[in-house]
Homo-oligomer: A and B are copies of this chain.
């Protein structure tokens, strides 16, 4: 399986990544993309920015391990993950997962697996900076743990 993992501050381009991945995807019939955007209104006070940090080297290696787990479970031809760090304004894309696979069921399952795992296990930390000047580090969500847990049955 072709697998390319990047953690970066820069924005990414879904269309360009899709074209690049298809060049590595052989006769794949299905491509699933997930893109996450920063939400402004999850809390009572609107968000000014989301600040993310990661553990360079460790984070990339963990994501690769997770992607290889997904490829062992479903027939995946190629995989691309980009996760942004630093300060991100509401509406900005923060994470991209692209999966190319022979058929749609495997592509959907692998993309969802990777996203569930990224949200619960990959070493990222988020701080919410609000428009009123307050800020706080996000705590781990129980719902994300639950979403990930269903793969471990």
A36 touches B104 (CB 8 A): yes
Total identical chains:
2
Question: Which of A22, A35, A40 neighbours the largest number of chain B CB atoms within 10 Å of its CB?
Answer: A35
A29 touches B39 (CB 8 A): yes
The A interface is mostly helix, strand or loop, or mixed, namely mixed
Which B-chain residue is minimally distant from A16 (CB atoms)?
B15
Interface segment, one of A55-63, A108-116, A132-140: A108-116
A residues lining the B interface (CB < 8 Å): 13-16, 18, 22, 27-42, 90-91, 102, 104-105, 107-108, 111-112, 115, 147
Contact for A40 among B27, B30, B147, CB less than 8 A:
B27
Q: What are 19 A-B contacts defined by CB distance under 8 Å?
A: A14-B18, A15-B16, A18-B33, A27-B39, A27-B41, A27-B91, A29-B38, A31-B33, A31-B35, A31-B36, A31-B37, A33-B34, A34-B104, A36-B104, A104-B112, A104-B115, A108-B108, A108-B112, A108-B115
